[in-house]
Amino acid sequence: MKRLVSVWISILVAAVLIVLSPQDVLAGMRTFEVVYTVEARGIPQGSRKVRVWVPYPPDDRTQTILDMEIDSPAPFRVGYDKRWGNRMIYFEPDPAGGTFGFSMRLVVERRELSADLDRDVGIEAVDRDAFSLYLEPSRLAVHDARVKSLSAKAAGGRKGIIARARAVYDFVLRNMDYDKNVPGWGRGDVRRVCVAIAGGGKGKGNCTDFHSFFTSLLQIQSIPVVFEMGIPIGAGSAEARGGYHCWASFFLPGSGWVPVDISEAEKNPSMRDYYFGSIDADRLLFSRGRDIVLEPPQSAGPLNYFGPDPYIEVDGRPFSGFIRRVRYRDLSVAP
């Protein structure tokens, strides 16, 4: 059975992460339509149960979901993971036939964000209990002795959150290359980056690796950081198979959450100052955090990150036999 739903979504104001601070500067804004589709094939004959979780982009200080339509092969429900608050769509399609499809159409208003970096109130560290979630290591973004040594080297004895965060940002840029040719990239494995640097080389990888390394180095400085996962949205219209983009935000008392996009800064050196404290409107956020337990909980253990791909289990085991596509078109200008 297919279910078609159209709903208007109000702004969700929940948790400090997505509250719009009065110090945020919202500059450029755009509206676009996104059509997200999943085609799953090759579900083994005789499978008893298929479970599907699809990331459902949140409303927050940078984006508002204005309209949504879902075409699902089975009744679905919307849930939130208990640790990070990520929103998701869950359903259980019939395994008979070995295939299913899913689509989600969104109209999104997305806003450029620039934090006020002049509002550093001089606090050296935040309340660790209040921000414990954003100071904890993950399975791959570790806080081992090598990372602690590199964190101290990066910070260089600087005082103040902004000074240390910028020093770490610059350290990551100096010691990493955006390079997807070296095996192991894309997992956010901080040990892998540290081994390369310890050997006299540079860490290699994509946005996941850049921002995982930044997260670990900055958390050791007692500065809260959150990893954010989404997709790039270019100008005009396009269709893409797979792909994603991620970035991070750190907390600055007096200003709030400050975004950084270090991999984009590495690819665009003239934008290095911009991407420390600002992010453009050319993206769509899907989720936050690492080591994610879904709702309802999956059988195979926490996810390294969630989205933009769906997560699928067949009889309790991860299933990767799907293609995820995204088609978008800009609604900010006349067609």
Q: What is the pLDDT of residues 231-281, one digit of tens each?
A: 999 988 999 999 999 999 999 988 889 999 999 999 999 999 999 999 999
* Residue 171 maps to a domain: yes
pLDDT in tens, 103-121: 999 999 999 999 988 766 6
Best CA proximity match to 260, nearest among 170, 128, 142: 170
* pLDDT > 70 fraction of the chain, expressed in percent and rounded: 89
* Residue 211 maps to a domain: yes
Q: Are residues 304 and 207 in the same domain?
A: no
Q: Are residues 124 and 162 in the same domain?
A: yes
- Lowest-confidence pick of 117-131, 171-185, 239-253, 314-328: 117-131
Q: Are residues 141 and 252 in the same domain?
A: yes
Q: Are residues 194 and 263 in the same domain?
A: yes
* Residue 237 maps to a domain: yes
* Residue 262 maps to a domain: yes
* Residue 271 maps to a domain: yes
Q: Are residues 224 and 325 in the same domain?
A: no
* Residue 221 maps to a domain: yes
Q: Are residues 309 and 250 in the same domain?
A: no
State the CB neighbour count (10 A cutoff) for residue 129: 7
In the DSSP assignment, the letter for residue 43 is: P
Find the angle CA(259)-CA(261)-CA(266) to the nearest 5 degrees: 150
- Tell me how many domains the chain contains: 2
- Report the length, in residues, of the chain: 335
Q: pTM for this one?
A: 0.90
Range of the domain at 181: 116-280
Query: Does residue 186 carry a pLDDT above 60?
Result: yes
Q: Are residues 99 and 127 in the same domain?
A: no
* Residue 273 maps to a domain: yes
pLDDT in tens, 130-160: 999 999 999 999 999 999 999 999 999 998 8
Query: Does residue 13 carry a pLDDT above 60?
Result: no
* Mean pLDDT confidence for 1-26: 39
Q: Where residue 169 sits, what CATH number does that domain have? A: 3.10.620.30
Cβ–Cβ under 8 Å, residues 283 and 233: yes
Q: Are residues 148 and 206 in the same domain?
A: yes
Q: Are residues 80 and 131 in the same domain?
A: no
Best CA proximity match to 169, nearest among 158, 179, 185: 158
Q: Are residues 105 and 153 in the same domain?
A: no
pLDDT: is 55 or 13 the higher one?
55
Best CA proximity match to 210, nearest among 242, 244, 164, 179: 179
Q: Are residues 183 and 269 in the same domain?
A: yes
pLDDT: is 129 or 226 the higher one?
226
Q: Are residues 269 and 326 in the same domain?
A: no
* Residue 335 maps to a domain: no
* Mean pLDDT confidence for 46-55: 98
